[in-house]
């Protein structure tokens, strides 16, 4: 009964998450602004935007967005885009299958805990082993193919690191995941919530709770 309730809680939370948080700004060149909840802020890698948010790109800039289903959209200089969960971009197939796993696990709703945190707080042990998983030759080949797909996107340094980290999470390579994210965290002042939450998630998966506390 307790497990059934917990599962329902997580599923409900994920449904609300997809509704509230349309996605993230993966990559920016030039000035990119996000206007939502009556506030306008300069975007950087990992900045979240909700349904209805307006992403405004400077004439000499560009931006790459990733939605909660893993699909991506490129915005060119001078473009102004209104995020919508019913928009065409959200209906597109993900560039890489399963890449949104890390995003959806690490993203918080308005002030709420992460999905991982909810499960942990409920007393359910993490079934995944700590540390980087040993991959079969086939899985390693698929991981390399996903990284190559990201390489072809020609993203800026932080954007590429953020996307690579999500790929490593997908394949259980948690140490590689945090290694990608730490330079992004150190370069952002302040770091985005998503980058912090992904580091928390990565270190928890590695079985390093003391390290994860540093980024909460």
Q: Using the Cα atoms of residue 95, residue 88, residue 23 and residue 161 in order, give the sign of their dihedral.
A: positive
- In this structure, of 103-112, 125-134, 138-147, 189-198, the range with the lowest mean pLDDT score is 125-134
**pLDDT tens per residue, range 126-162:** 434 456 879 999 999 999 999 999 999 999 999 999 9
pTM over 0.75: yes
Cβ-proximal residues to 142 (8 Å cutoff; 6+ apart), any chain: 171
pLDDT higher for 93 or 90?
93
The pLDDT of residue 130 is 54
Structure tokens at 203: 């270190």
Rounded Cα distance, 78 and 65, in Å: 15
CA 138 centroid distance within chain: 25
pLDDT(17) > 90 = no
Structure tokens at 16: 């609300």
């Amino acid at each position: 009964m307790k497990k059934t309730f917990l599962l329902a809680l997580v599923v409900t939370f994920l449904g609300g998450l997809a509704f509230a948080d349309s996605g993230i700004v993966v990559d920016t060149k030039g000035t990119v602004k996000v206007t939502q909840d009556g506030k306008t802020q300069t975007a950087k890698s990992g900045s979240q935007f909700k349904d209805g948010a307006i992403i405004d790109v400077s004439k000499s800039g560009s931006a790459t967005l990733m939605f909660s289903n893993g699909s991506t959209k490129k915005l060119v200089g001078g473009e102004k885009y209104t995020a919508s969960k019913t928009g065409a971009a959200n209906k597109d197939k993900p560039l890489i299958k399963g890449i949104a796993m890390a995003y959806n696990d690490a993203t918080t709703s308005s002030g709420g805990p992460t999905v991982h945190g909810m499960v942990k707080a409920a007393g359910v042990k993490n079934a995944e082993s700590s540390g980087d998983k040993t991959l079969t030759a086939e899985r390693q080949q698929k991981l390399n193919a996903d990284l190559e797909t990201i390489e072809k996107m020609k993203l800026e340094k932080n954007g590429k690191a953020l996307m690579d980290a999500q790929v490593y999470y997908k394949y259980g390579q948690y140490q590689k995941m945090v290694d990608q994210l730490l330079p992004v965290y150190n370069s952002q002042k302040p770091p985005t919530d998503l980058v912090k939450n992904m580091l928390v998630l990565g270190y928890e998966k590695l079985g390093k709770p003391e390290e994860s506390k540093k980024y909460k």
